[in-house]
Structure 1
Amino acid sequence: MFKNYLKIAWRNLWKNRLFTSINIVGLSVAFAVATLLVMDSLNELSYDSFHENGDQLYKTYITWQTPKGTEIGTSMPTPFSEALKSEVPGVQKITQFLEENALLFYKEKEINLDAVWVASDFFSMFTLPILQGNKTNPLQDLSSVVISEAAASKLFGDENPIDKVVNILINGKQEPFTIRAVTKENTNESSLEFEIAIPFEKNASYVPTKERWGAQYHDVLVQLEKGVSAKAFEKNSNAFTNLHYKNSIEKLKRDGALPDANGQFLQLGLLPIKEIHFTSFNTGVAETSRTSVYLVLGVAFLILFIACVNFINMSIAKSSQRLREIGMRKTLGAEKRQLFFQFWGESLLVFTVSIGLGILLSILLLDNFQALFRTSASFEVLLSSKVLVGAIVLIFSITLVVGGYPALLLSRLGTIQSLKGKLETSGGNRLRDALIVVQFGIAILLISGTLVLWGQVEFMRNKDLGYDKEQVFSFPINGKKNSYDAIKLLRQELSGNPDVLGISASDINLGRGRDGSQYTSVWGFDYKGKSVNTNALVVDYDYIETLGLELLQGRNFEINRKTDAQAVVINESMAKELGEKNPLEAKIAINDTLAYPVIGVVKDYNFQDVSKAIEPLTFLLDRTEGLNYAFVKVNPVNIANSVESIEAAYKKIEPNATFLGSFLDENVDRTFRREKTMATLITTGSIIAIILSCIGLFAMSLLIVAQRTKEIGIRKVIGASVSSITYILTKDFLRLVFIAFIIASPIAWWLGKEWLQNYAYHMNLNWSLFVISGATAVLIALLTIGTKTIRAAMQNPIDSLRDE
Structure 2
Amino acid sequence: MIKNFLLITLRSMMKNKLFLFINIFGMAIGIGCCIVAYFNWEHDASWDAHHTNKEKIYRVSMTREFEGQTRLHSHASFPLGEIVQQTIPDASKSTRFSLSWSNFKIGDNLFYADLGYVDPDFFEMFSFELLSGKPADLKDKSKLFVSQEMAMRLFGSQDVVGKMVTQVIGNDLKEFQVAGVFKNQPKNSSFQRSSYANFENVFDDDKNLKRDDWRAQTTLFLQVDDPTRVNTITAQLQQYKTNHNKVREDFQIQAYVVEPFEGMAHRDRATDTWADTRESNPIPAVIAPIFMAVLLLLIACFNMTNTSIAISSRRLKEIGVRKVMGSMRMQLVVQFIGETMFICAIALIIGLFMGELLINAWNSLWEEMKITSHYQDNPGIVLFLLGMLLFTGLISGGYPALYISNFEPVSILKGKLRFGGTNWFTRVLLGLQYTFSFIGLVCAIAFYQNSIYQRDFDLGVNQDGIIIAYVDNGSEFEVYRNALLENKDILGIAGSEHSVYSSRYSTPVKYQSKQTEVEAINVGDHYLKTMGLTLLDGRDFEKDSETDQKESIIITEKFAATFNWDKPLGKEIIWHDSVKLYVVGVVKDVYTQGLWRETQPMMIRYANKEKYTHVIVNVPVEKATTVNTFMESQWREVFPNRLYNGRYINEIMIEAYTVNNNIVKIFVFLGVVALMLSATGLFTLVSLNIIKRMKEIGVRKVLGASVGNISRIINAEFAIILSVAALLGCFLSALLVDALMDSIWDYYQATGSLTFVIAIVLMFITSAITIGAKVLGAAATNPVNTLRVE
Answering whether residue 259 of structure 2 is matched by residue 270 of structure 1, we say yes
Distance in 1 between the 2:515 and 2:211 partners?
Answer: 24
After superposition, the Cα gap between the structure-2 partners of 1:171 and 1:752, relative to the gap in structure 1 and judged at 3 Å, is same
Give the aligned CA root-mean-square deviation in angstroms: 3.8
Structure 2 equivalent of residue 801 of structure 1 = 787
Alpha-carbon deviations, 1:645-675, whole Å to 9, x = none? 3444334434565556554334312146444
After superposition, the Cα gap between the structure-2 partners of 1:283 and 1:663, relative to the gap in structure 1 and judged at 3 Å, is closer
After superposition, the Cα gap between the structure-2 partners of 1:345 and 1:557, relative to the gap in structure 1 and judged at 3 Å, is same
Distance in 2 between the 1:114 and 1:419 partners?
Answer: 78
Scaled by the length of structure 2, the TM-score of the pair is: 0.88
Distance in 1 between the 2:333 and 2:569 partners?
Answer: 83
Distance in 1 between the 2:782 and 2:647 partners?
Answer: 67
Larger mean CA deviation between 307-316 and 650-659 belongs to 650-659
Answering whether residue 663 of structure 2 is matched by residue 678 of structure 1, we say yes
Answering whether residue 523 of structure 2 is matched by residue 546 of structure 1, we say no
Q: Secondary structure at the match of 1:468?
A: coil
Q: Assess if the C-alpha contact under 8 Å between 2:422 and 2:685 holds in 1.
A: no
- The amino acid across from 2:212 in the alignment is E
After superposition, the Cα gap between the structure-2 partners of 1:577 and 1:5, relative to the gap in structure 1 and judged at 3 Å, is closer
Q: Secondary structure at the match of 1:99?
A: strand
Distance in 1 between the 2:395 and 2:188 partners?
Answer: 36
Structure 2 equivalent of residue 261 of structure 1 = none
Q: CA deviation at 1:283?
A: 7.8
Q: Secondary structure at the match of 2:650?
A: helix
After superposition, the Cα gap between the structure-2 partners of 1:552 and 1:225, relative to the gap in structure 1 and judged at 3 Å, is farther
Structure 2 equivalent of residue 81 of structure 1 = 81
Distance in 1 between the 2:505 and 2:376 partners?
Answer: 41
Alpha-carbon deviations, 1:491-549, whole Å to 9, x = none? 333324332101235566666xxxxxx76433457788886644343545432221111
Q: Assess if the C-alpha contact under 8 Å between 2:421 and 2:691 holds in 1.
A: no
Q: Assess if the C-alpha contact under 8 Å between 1:98 and 1:116 holds in 2.
A: yes
Alpha-carbon deviations, 1:51-72, whole Å to 9, x = none? 1122333444333222253344
- The amino acid across from 2:50 in the alignment is F
After superposition, the Cα gap between the structure-2 partners of 1:533 and 1:369, relative to the gap in structure 1 and judged at 3 Å, is closer
Distance in 2 between the 1:427 and 1:730 partners?
Answer: 13
- The amino acid across from 2:772 in the alignment is G
Larger mean CA deviation between 646-655 and 193-202 belongs to 646-655
Structure 2 equivalent of residue 310 of structure 1 = 303
Structure 2 equivalent of residue 324 of structure 1 = 317
Structure 1 equivalent of residue 712 of structure 2 = 727
Distance in 1 between the 2:199 and 2:207 partners?
Answer: 7
5 Å-filtered alignment, 1:563-642, equals 569-572=553-556, 573-574=558-559, 601-615=586-600, 616-622=602-608, 627=613, 630-636=615-621, 638-642=623-627
Structure 2 equivalent of residue 429 of structure 1 = 423
Q: Assess if the C-alpha contact under 8 Å between 2:420 and 2:689 holds in 1.
A: no
Structure 2 equivalent of residue 786 of structure 1 = 772
After superposition, the Cα gap between the structure-2 partners of 1:119 and 1:527, relative to the gap in structure 1 and judged at 3 Å, is farther
Distance in 2 between the 1:163 and 1:623 partners?
Answer: 43
- The amino acid across from 2:95 in the alignment is T
Q: Assess if the C-alpha contact under 8 Å between 1:59 and 1:273 holds in 2.
A: no
After superposition, the Cα gap between the structure-2 partners of 1:190 and 1:753, relative to the gap in structure 1 and judged at 3 Å, is same
Q: CA deviation at 1:557?
A: 5.0
Answering whether residue 175 of structure 2 is matched by residue 191 of structure 1, we say no
Alpha-carbon deviations, 1:604-661, whole Å to 9, x = none? 311223222222243452566562x543211245455444434443344345655565
Q: Assess if the C-alpha contact under 8 Å between 2:67 and 2:515 holds in 1.
A: no
Answering whether residue 6 of structure 2 is matched by residue 6 of structure 1, we say yes
Structure 1 equivalent of residue 748 of structure 2 = 762
Larger mean CA deviation between 267-276 and 348-357 belongs to 267-276
2:292 aligned to which of 295, 299, 302: 299
After superposition, the Cα gap between the structure-2 partners of 1:567 and 1:145, relative to the gap in structure 1 and judged at 3 Å, is farther
After superposition, the Cα gap between the structure-2 partners of 1:373 and 1:582, relative to the gap in structure 1 and judged at 3 Å, is closer
Structure 1, unmatched stretches of 5+, are: 254-263, 512-517
Distance in 1 between the 2:131 and 2:433 partners?
Answer: 52
- The amino acid across from 1:113 in the alignment is A
After superposition, the Cα gap between the structure-2 partners of 1:797 and 1:659, relative to the gap in structure 1 and judged at 3 Å, is farther
- The amino acid across from 2:715 in the alignment is T
Q: CA deviation at 1:714?
A: 1.3
Structure 2 equivalent of residue 211 of structure 1 = 212
Structure 2 equivalent of residue 257 of structure 1 = none
Q: CA deviation at 1:242?
A: 6.0
Structure 2 equivalent of residue 515 of structure 1 = none
Distance in 2 between the 1:80 and 1:48 partners?
Answer: 25
Q: CA deviation at 1:184?
A: 0.7
Report sequence identity in percent. Answer: 25
2:506 aligned to which of 512, 516, 522: 522
Structure 1 equivalent of residue 492 of structure 2 = 502
Q: CA deviation at 1:803?
A: 3.2
Alpha-carbon deviations, 1:747-779, whole Å to 9, x = none? 322333434444443324434433433343333
Distance in 2 between the 1:746 and 1:420 partners?
Answer: 48
Q: Assess if the C-alpha contact under 8 Å between 1:201 and 1:207 holds in 2.
A: no
Alpha-carbon deviations, 1:245-265, whole Å to 9, x = none? 565999999xxxxxxxxxx95
Q: CA deviation at 1:558?
A: 5.8
Q: Assess if the C-alpha contact under 8 Å between 1:242 and 1:249 holds in 2.
A: no
5 Å-filtered alignment, 1:152-301, equals 152-158=151-157, 160-170=159-169, 172-203=171-202, 204-205=205-206, 208-213=209-214, 215-228=215-228, 232=231, 236=235, 239-240=238-239, 243-244=242-243, 265-266=254-255, 268=257, 270=259, 272-277=261-266, 279-280=268-269, 290-301=283-294
After superposition, the Cα gap between the structure-2 partners of 1:748 and 1:61, relative to the gap in structure 1 and judged at 3 Å, is farther
Answering whether residue 711 of structure 2 is matched by residue 718 of structure 1, we say no
Q: Assess if the C-alpha contact under 8 Å between 1:42 and 1:381 holds in 2.
A: no
After superposition, the Cα gap between the structure-2 partners of 1:710 and 1:383, relative to the gap in structure 1 and judged at 3 Å, is farther
Q: Secondary structure at the match of 1:466?
A: coil
- The amino acid across from 2:478 in the alignment is K
Distance in 2 between the 1:225 and 1:240 partners?
Answer: 23
Scaled by the length of structure 1, the TM-score of the pair is: 0.86
Q: CA deviation at 1:307?
A: 0.7
Distance in 2 between the 1:688 and 1:737 partners?
Answer: 17
5 Å-filtered alignment, 1:373-392, equals 373-374=366-367, 375-380=369-374, 383-392=377-386
Q: CA deviation at 1:783?
A: 2.6
Q: Assess if the C-alpha contact under 8 Å between 1:568 and 1:620 holds in 2.
A: yes
Q: Assess if the C-alpha contact under 8 Å between 2:170 and 2:642 holds in 1.
A: no
5 Å-filtered alignment, 1:2-81, equals 2-67=2-67, 69-81=69-81
Q: Secondary structure at the match of 1:380?
A: coil
Distance in 1 between the 2:340 and 2:220 partners?
Answer: 56
Q: Assess if the C-alpha contact under 8 Å between 2:535 and 2:587 holds in 1.
A: yes
Alpha-carbon deviations, 1:466-512, whole Å to 9, x = none? 111122234x44xxx7564554344333324332101235566666x
Q: Assess if the C-alpha contact under 8 Å between 1:571 and 1:618 holds in 2.
A: yes
Structure 2 equivalent of residue 107 of structure 1 = 107
Q: Assess if the C-alpha contact under 8 Å between 2:473 and 2:611 holds in 1.
A: no
Q: Secondary structure at the match of 1:222?
A: strand
Alpha-carbon deviations, 1:173-210, whole Å to 9, x = none? 22233322211112442221011223333224486353
Distance in 1 between the 2:302 and 2:633 partners?
Answer: 61
| Matched residues, number | 779
Structure 2 equivalent of residue 514 of structure 1 = none
Distance in 2 between the 1:139 and 1:654 partners?
Answer: 31
Q: CA deviation at 1:78?
A: 0.8
Q: Assess if the C-alpha contact under 8 Å between 2:296 and 2:674 holds in 1.
A: yes
Structure 2, unmatched stretches of 5+, are: none
After superposition, the Cα gap between the structure-2 partners of 1:647 and 1:109, relative to the gap in structure 1 and judged at 3 Å, is closer
Alpha-carbon deviations, 1:270-306, whole Å to 9, x = none? 2644341464465899999745413321211211111
Q: Assess if the C-alpha contact under 8 Å between 2:508 and 2:576 holds in 1.
A: no
Distance in 2 between the 1:609 and 1:761 partners?
Answer: 9
Q: Secondary structure at the match of 1:522?
A: strand
Answering whether residue 142 of structure 2 is matched by residue 149 of structure 1, we say no
Distance in 1 between the 2:421 and 2:693 partners?
Answer: 17
